Amino acid sequence: QELPAGAMISVPLSKADLMPFMTPEIEFAVFLSPTSCVVSGPTQAMNEFAERLEKRSIGFRRLAVTRAFHSAMMDPILARFHEVVRRVKLQRPTLRCLSGLSGTWMTDSEAQRSSYWVEHLRQTMRLGDCLSQLSSQTLLEVGPGNGLRALAAQIRLDPEA
């Protein structure tokens, strides 16, 4: 809550297609699929980003957040967050988990390393890569909406995934 306000926007474009709209203040927060990303940054920069998209008639969705997660705007709290996580007794997972950082299966050492969780707060998440790891599995979406199903369908249909 101490951090300045920020925003996040989901755009159905690839990283390469979004690059011309990016500025130094805006960062990729999540790679949802090969053709969908979430960007994050200060509110004013994100409003200007949205205006650039609108001028090109590119659809987007603002996320219901008040902070710019997975961006430099998290930097002021990383050391303090690290201290909090270091006090938690981290254990190896009892179930296999995917890493949002790498998009591959999480290792026991990652799960037990406090700095991993700090990186998780700051770095770009690779949700699309995680879903690709599960492409041959049956997925169950629990909760409102069908966002996971829609992303999984994009990844399964993408010939490069």
pLDDT by residue for the chain (161 residues), tens only, comes to 889 999 999 999 999 999 999 999 999 999 998 899 999 999 999 999 999 999 999 999 999 999 999 999 999 999 999 999 999 999 999 999 999 999 999 999 999 999 999 999 999 999 989 888 887 666 666 767 776 666 666 655 444 44
Q: For residue 20, what is the DSSP state?
A: G
pTM of the model: 0.83
Q: What are φ and ψ of residue 39, in 5° steps? A: -115, 160
What is d(CA 109, CA 80) in angstroms, rounded to the nearest whole number? 22
